[in-house]
Each structure stands twice: as structure tokens, then as C-alpha cells.
Amino acid sequence: MAEPSLTVRRKSRSGSVRKRSRAPVQPSAVCSPVARKRPSSGGEGLPAETPCSNDSEEDMFGDYDSFYGNDSLLAQVDDVEHKYLQDKNTDIKAAGEIILGNLQSGIHQKKQDYFSASENMVVLKADKEDAFQTNENDPVDSNQELTESILDDLPSSQLLYFEKMDKLSSDSRISPVSERRNKCVNSSSDKIRSLSPFCPDAEHGNRPTDFSSDSKCDLFKTESLKDHLKSAMTGNAKAQTLQVSKTKQLKEAVLSEEICVARKTIESSSVDIGPFYGLPSKVKDLFRQFRGIETLYEWQHDCLMLESLQQRKNLIYSLPTSGGKTLVAEIIILQELLCRQKDVLMILPYVAIVQEKVRGLSSFGIELGFLVEEYAGSKGRFPPIKRRIKKSLYIATIEKGHALVNSLIETERIDDLGLVVVDELHMLGEGSRGATLEITLAKILYTSKNTQIIGMSATLNNVGDLQKFLQAEYYTNNFRPVELKEYVKIRDTIYAVDDKTENGYTFSHLLNFKYSSNLEKADPDHIIALVTEVIPKYSCLIFCPTKKNCENVASMVCKYLKKEFRAHREKEKQDLIKNLKNIGNGSVCPVLKQTIPFGVAYHHSGLTNDERKSIEEAYSTGVLCLLACTATLAAGVNLPARRVILRAPYVANDVLKKNQYKQMIGRAGRAGIDSAGESILIVQEKDKHLVQDLVNSPLENCYSNLLLELTKGMQSLLLSLVGLKIAVTCEEVDNFMCNTLLGVQQQLLSKEKSLSEIIRDGLENLIEKGLLKGRISEKDQDSKCILTITLLGKATYKGSIDLAYCNLLYRELKKGLEGLILESNLHLLYLATPYDMTSNCSPDWMIYLRQFNQLSAAEQKVADIVGVPESFITKKASGQAIRKNVDSAVVNRLYLSFVLYTLLKETNIWSVSEKFNMSRGYVQNLLNSAASFASCVLHFCEELEEFWVYKALLTELTKQLTYCVKTELIPLMEVAGVLEARAKQLYNAGYKTLAHLANANPETLVKMIEHLSRRQAKQIVSSAKMLLSEKAEALQEEVEELLKVPTNIPGTY
């Protein structure tokens, strides 16, 4: 979409208003504003200006001469004025021309050198009709341009004075030249008055300029121009100035005014936008500085220029993986925060991606003055703090995003949320998490008409349903920054994927690699041949069906790689092993110890957070060139590769879905590094038919999961609708449900019962559970009976507790009040152990008995209280028959509590995983889930007065589970991206508090901390500054609230 012709003006101001005219610029239709070169105003012979000019430390105003010091200039002004008063036949307009001419000769020349060197700012004129236009054949064009230039150079006080002079000439004849000058003066003074108070340049308010005809002459006689100038300049000289460098003041003024212009432009819904898509040009510089982004892709420019975005309509956009979708979302987010001054919610699928995004955007927040708040795991405040000045960007997981929206609706602040951005929108169709996402978006659509929703995904099919649900426009493009070549390997033959052929592929070439008989047996799928074509020079990913297969493939490849591979970046690989050893407190995985010297590693959920992060960083920097990974990597952090190999068309025991296939192969090709990316799917003869399905079948449709996930879907939604008073009668609930994705797809998904019947069944079930009160009449379908929520119901939805467990949790908490064992935190840990992890737990009975025997007598009572007697554990360990029935869920939950109890004591995942014979990744996942569930139980207890005793206890326990480190490391681990191993390094180097980190020099950090890149150091410092800023803002809010004078003081009126 081509941009319209723009009238561009550059501004540079300090104290008075100063402008310089520029010729119109006609940008290319396809060139984005990032890449656009702006010509210099100095003429054709001068080189183009660089998009980003660097301010020097030198004072730009050092040799600026004052008006008041120029006695000859004032004398000229005085002479001109007296000459005019003696000549009765000279009209006032002519005098104005003479004065302007003298002013121009005395002032304009003195400043022209300064103007040529001062920093410029690009300002877009939203309305072309405001541009000053003249007739090409008019002989007085040059005079007119000169006059406009003079007026642009004058301070606002002089412009207003000349406006008064114009009004005095109402009875005089008006020449065409005077008319044009009149327009120019009025236009200039209008500019002065129309500046928003948001801009620093709005120094003069509207002043009355209406004078009676009797006083016009007297005014002119008594108030001489010389006196006026003296008065104005003396006042300016006496004005108090801040003790800040003028360069810094100018920078702040430029940024503030650009934000002002951007806000005005966006509010006017014009297609003419500001310097950088309605944002300050500083944003463009930050993208260059932090991301290395010089130009936008053409599709990104087109998408940002969509009419639907200018009109704040909801939008869904879809592009292949690695197409640059996130950058568009980030620019839209910055528009909302800076220009419209509204809060923004960004919903991401996984905790790791939330933390990565918080680190990445904190730098922007520090530079541009907004807050970045993390809502993931146990982190997040409900409701969020209402900020006085700064706006907040909430970055949340699906579950935390839902809780955040609930709290905003409850406190009637949902309209503060200007924008919601959803990444991986296709997750609407994925189980209970999809149901939660659907509920969140439906509530926003229903309760706020001012909140814009932007959804993006690489894999969408039934877009029509999603458009109808979100009331959104749709944009799609097949762009990929790097060409993707898809191949299939069957035996030793490589076929190119071709959807036009019957079987989905055509012959490409044969593998050129000599296999010995031993190697053929060890590697029948020729993986070594495929990887050695690209590594170590380029990177490669191998997606495997299972975690065990990842480790086996990594070991097998290293066993047959040549010794030369060990020499590639050998020292850095040894450093990585050393780092992993520090993470494991002396332990390192034997497989990784064997494979890393060859530049190979595995990546799956069996790794701890610290291990996973270290391996990802090593792969990103090229220290590791090959990762054997599971499908979760494709949906997680961005780790692209030159070649992607799919070990089999399966994920675990399930056939690979088209969506999963597209996500995996989308990792092939690194923008800016590779000219092309390759994907190779390894297929056995018996599975050849699966290739045709993968190539020719469409992407899977996205269907509502509200019915499939009853307790986390439909019933959870109905409970919160009544609790938040969004809908409190059956009729209102029906109206709401029609606006959900289920409402759009009800004919497909609810064939046995109507949607209305499903709703009534759900409401009745909630009443039976004691979560709602009211009466649902079968006979009277139009019943207006008001539904209300019980205290238990309110606690359930505010704590985000699964309805399947809410009554059980209440009973266990109630039972705990009768005899809570507080000698240690074991009893509390049992109450905070997540219910949904018990089904995957298979206790080792000998370990169970050993751990039980190591408990104190008081701690052993916990097992009796929850219903697991010692005799049961003993008999199970000895293999004896059990007559008494014991709830297996309770037994498993207590076993997991033992794991958590040991973990909090030892704070070492490696030793605990060995002690309980569990994978360290499982122990890590248990810890993360327990921290999140403890936070939910805390919110549950806050709503029930009888559980007051749990509030303080669970607050501290949640903190312990979140960080699981020694107390002194917790302040450092609050910073996004700082995990235990890094926190220990920082603490040992002397960085012991958040303030230490926030004020650290990134270059010093790089020197003092091992294995820390410059980029990581900058992100840590930015994240620490952001967190410190958030805490300071929160305290300031508290102070202001305390000092606020109440409006309802008795005895006052």
C-alpha cells in the first residue's frame, strides 16, 4: 500500500519556537519508514542525512547571541518605528513589512549557522490542506517564502504582536501581498496556540487579541516595538532554567513533541502517520540498537498501514514461522503505550517465552518510559497497581492473563486496557489452555468496547470462525525472509516435496556418503550423512519423537563423528561443560559430557531451567551446532537452523499433525545468515502414505474446547460470569455465550443438546456444588431469576482453582485448621502440591519408606492426618497385601510433598532427583507447578475469612517455591532471566541487591561474570532497572494514597 504524499517539516526548539521549511518528500510505496533516506535541505549537491544523528556532548547553544545585546538592531527598530509614525500615509501593513525585513537582516543571519547545525525533528502534517501553497507564476513567491521563513524564526510573543498589528489595518487597503502575509502570520500564530499542552513547546496559552477600534491607535502609540522586544527578552533572560545540559533538554523536548504529534495523528485516524508509524523516531533507533533491525519487510509495512489498524479494528494476521510477526505486534504495542496512553496485555503460551519477552522489552520500557510487568508462574499482582503516570505492558501466560482480566473487570478498570495481543492464536483449539484463552477474549469483547484485540499465528485454517468470534479483519502473507526447501528421505533417496504430484514428492538426489556395515547398523536412517553436510559450519536441529530418542540420537552421532569436530571452538565447549557442572553442584549429565565436545547436545523437558538456558545460549552463539530435541522446542524459544531433520512422522506415539509439521520446518533458515533453509522428513517405507497426508492436507481447524474441558471450560466460565456480574440471569448468560467461539461453532460442536440446554445443565451443576445460589426452572425457560455467587464460588474463580478440585481443597484446608503441623513446612507443602500431577506419579515404595523414616515424630503425624498411615507404606515397601483401602491420589500427593520438602531443604534439583530416582526435569516441573498452585491457594484463602491463618504462611511458602534458593539470592532471582546459577555468580561478584544490578555497568558485568555475553548483561541491567522502577512506582502510589485528602470528611462542605 503506497503512502500518500507527505509534507515534512523539521523542527528544533529551545525556549522559543524555531522552524525551518523543507521541500515535500515523496516516499516510495514499498520502502518502509525505517529504511527511508531523507534528503538534506541544503540542496541537491549535499549528501543525504543519516536516519539517526548522534548528539555530541558539546553545548549546542554556546555561541548563541542574545537579541538584547544587539544595540544596533534595536536602534534600527526604533528608527523604523519613528519614521512610520511621522508618515501618516504609510499603512500599518507596510510598516510591518519594513520591520520584518529589518528583523530578518538583523536576526535571521545571526542564526542561520546555528540552524544548519542544530538537530532536526521530522513532523508529519496530518492535513495536506494546512500546507502553505502558492501560485508558481506569482512574481512575489520569493517574498512570500522569505516572510514565512522570518515568521517561523520568530518567538511566539512576536508572532502574537504582529497579529495585533494585522488587526489594526482592518480599515486600510489590503494588497494581494498583504493578504498572503496575513495568512502566513495567522497560520503561524495558530500553530503557536494549537500546540497541545502535552508538548514542551506549548509555552503560550490562548491570549485575548480582541481590541476595540477606539483603543487601536493608542495601543500602537504607547506600546512601541522596541519596548515590547525589550520586555519579552528581559523576561526570557530572567526565566529560571533547570540545571540540566541543553543537549539533554533538547532530546527530551524532541521525544516529547514527537509523541505528541504521533498521538494527534493516530487520534485523527489519518493514513498520514508520524516519523515512525506514529511513533517517535527514537523507537526506530532503539530497534536498530537493541535488535539490529535496519529495515522492515514490505509485508510488515503494508500490515502496519492497514486501514483497519488506523480505525482500531480487531485484527488477525497469519504468516509462516520466522516471517517477522512479532515485530509488527511490538510496534502496535508501543503505539498504544506511548501515543494513546493505555495499558497493554500481551498473552504468550509458555513461561519461558514470557520471561524472554520481559527481558527483551524492558530495555524499551526504560528508554521510553513505560513499565513491563511479568505475569507467569507465581508472579503477578491482582488487581495490578493503577499507575499515576507511566503505563504498563503486562506480559502474561494464558492462565495469568485470564486472572488479570478478571481482576480488571472486577475493579471496573477493563477500559484502561487499550490493547490485547495474543501470540499463537491457534492455541484456542488446544485443550484446557485453549478454553481459558477463549474465555479471556470473550470477556474482553463483551465488557470493553474500547479494547483492541490483535491475534497472530503461523498455523490457522478456519479463519472465518475466528474472525466472527473476534469481530476482526484478516491479513495474511506467504512471506518468508529465507526460502524454505522441503525434502523427504526414504532409504538413501532424497525427494523434493511437491504438492502437485499424486504422492506428494518428486525425486531430487541420492545421498552421497559411504557407509560401512557397522555404521549402517548403528545409523540405518543415515542421520550422520545428513548432519555432516551442514555441521559444524552451519547449525542443525533433529526433532525426535521421544525424550529418550533425543539422547540416543545425540550419543550415536558423536560416536561416529570425526575427531576434527572436537577442535571447533574447543575452549568455549569446555567452558559450557564447566558451567553445567556448576549448575549441577558438581554433577553433569553423562550424555551431555560426551556430546558437547563435538558441538552436539539434546534439548527436552528433562533438563532443568538453568541447563536448558545454557544450552540454548550456546546454540544461539554457535558453540553448539546440533541439537536433538522434542517438538516442544518448535513452539518455544526461537532457535533457527540451516537444516531441520524430522526423525520420524510421529510425536510420541501419535502421528504428526500438519500444524506441528509446519512449526518444526519453520525453524529452517536463519534470516540474515542463510540464503535458504532445508527441512528433511525421514520416512520408512511403511509410512510413505503419511507424507501425502502431511503435504496435501490443510492445516487443522481450530475448534472451541469449552465443552470438552467442562470444569476448566464451560463451568469455569459460567461461575466467573456470575461472580463478576457480567451475566446474572439465564438470558444474559445465553447472550454472552452466543459471542464465544463455541457460540459461533455451536451447530458443529453441540449436536445432541442445544447451547441453551448445556448452559442450564452447567448452572445447575454449579448450584449443586454450592458455588452458585439461585433457581433454574426447566418449565419457565424465560426465567429472570437472579443468580448469585457463594463465598466458596468467589474463592474458586479468584484463585483460578479447577472446579474438579475446589470442594476437595476446601475440605483439606478446613481439616488443616483442626491440627496444622507447623514444626516444619511439610503439612503446608502437602496443601500446596498440585492435584493434577498425582496421576503421573508412581512412587518407589522403598524410597517412600526411607523418606518417611527420616521425618521427625511431628512430621510423621502429617501422613496420619492426610490419610496415609505408616503401616500402609511399610506393607507396600515389603510387598504385603493391603486390605484397607487408601486413596491413591492422596498417597501420590504425599509422596510428591516429600520431594518438595527435600528440595526446599537442599535447594539442589540434581541431588533430589537422584534421591527419588526421578528425572531432574520432572522435579523442576513439579517445583514450578507447586509454586503456581501455592499462589492460587493463597488467592483462594484470601476470599474466605475462616482461612485467615493461611495467608501469611502461604505468602512465604509461595516465595520459597518460586525461587528455591538460599534467601540471599532471592532479590537477584526476581530479575527476569536470572536463574540460580547466574544469581550465585552475581552474588559472589558483589552484586547482592536489586539496586546493585540496576546501577551496574554492562561492560563491567561481562568482565566479572563468566559465560555472560554483552547482550545478556544489557538485558539483565535493563530488567533490574525496570523492576526497581516498578517497586518505586508502587511505593509512590501508596504514599499518594495515604496523603490524599478524603472528600467526605464530616463537617466539611
* Per-residue confidence (pLDDT) for residue 110, from 0 to 100: 39
**List of residues 6+ apart from 586 with CB closer than 8 A:** none
CB 434 within 8 A of CB 427: yes
* Per-residue confidence (pLDDT) for residue 750, from 0 to 100: 81
Q: Angle 868-871-875 (CA atoms, 0-180°, nearest 5)? A: 110
Q: Which residue in 812, 989, 802 sits closest to 894, CA to CA? A: 812
Q: What is the DSSP string of 1027-1050?
A: HHHHHHHHHHHHHHHHHPPPS--T
Q: What are 638-682's pLDDT values in tens digits? A: 788 999 999 999 998 889 999 999 989 989 987 777 788 999 999
Residue 9 pairs in a beta bridge with 123
When computed from its CA atoms, the radius of gyration of the chain, rounded to whole angstroms, is: 35
Q: Which residue in 979, 822, 858 sits closest to 359, CA to CA? A: 979
Could you tell me the CA-to-CA distances from 423 to 133, 301, 326, 401, 635 in Å, in that order?
47, 19, 8, 12, 11
Q: How far is CA 687 from the centre of its chain?
A: 41
Q: What percent of the chain is helix, strand and coil (3-state, nearest 5)?
A: 55, 10, 35
672-689: b (≥16 Cβ within 10 Å) or e: eebeebbbbbbbeeebee
Predicted TM-score (pTM) of the model is 0.74
| Residue 383: cis peptide before it, omega within 30 degrees of 0 | yes
* Per-residue confidence (pLDDT) for residue 164, from 0 to 100: 52
Please tell me the distance from the alpha carbon of residue 628 to that of residue 99, in angstroms, as a whole number. Answer: 80
| Main-chain dihedrals φ then ψ at residue 681, nearest 5 degrees | -100, 120
Residue type, 108: H
Q: Which residue in 473, 186, 102 sits closest to 314, CA to CA? A: 473
Cell numbers given for 905: 531443604
Q: Which residue in 371, 386, 313 sits closest to 338, CA to CA? A: 371
Please tell me the distance from the alpha carbon of residue 89 to that of residue 1040, in angstroms, as a whole number. Answer: 65
* Per-residue confidence (pLDDT) for residue 944, from 0 to 100: 96
**List of residues 6+ apart from 840 with CB closer than 8 A:** none
**Burial of 323 per CB tally in 10 Å (0-12, 13-18, 19+):** buried
Alpha helices in 54-118 (DSSP H): 71-86, 92-103, 109-117
CB 975 within 8 A of CB 1027: yes
Give the residue ranges of the chain where pLDDT is below 70.
1-252, 261-274, 777-783, 1053
* Per-residue confidence (pLDDT) for residue 4, from 0 to 100: 37
* Per-residue confidence (pLDDT) for residue 107, from 0 to 100: 41
Q: What is the DSSP string of 652-686?
A: TTEEPPHHHHHHHHTTBS-TTT-SEEEEEEE--GG
Residue found by looking up cell 511431628 in the block: 858
Q: What are 145-157's pLDDT values in tens digits? A: 444 444 444 444 4
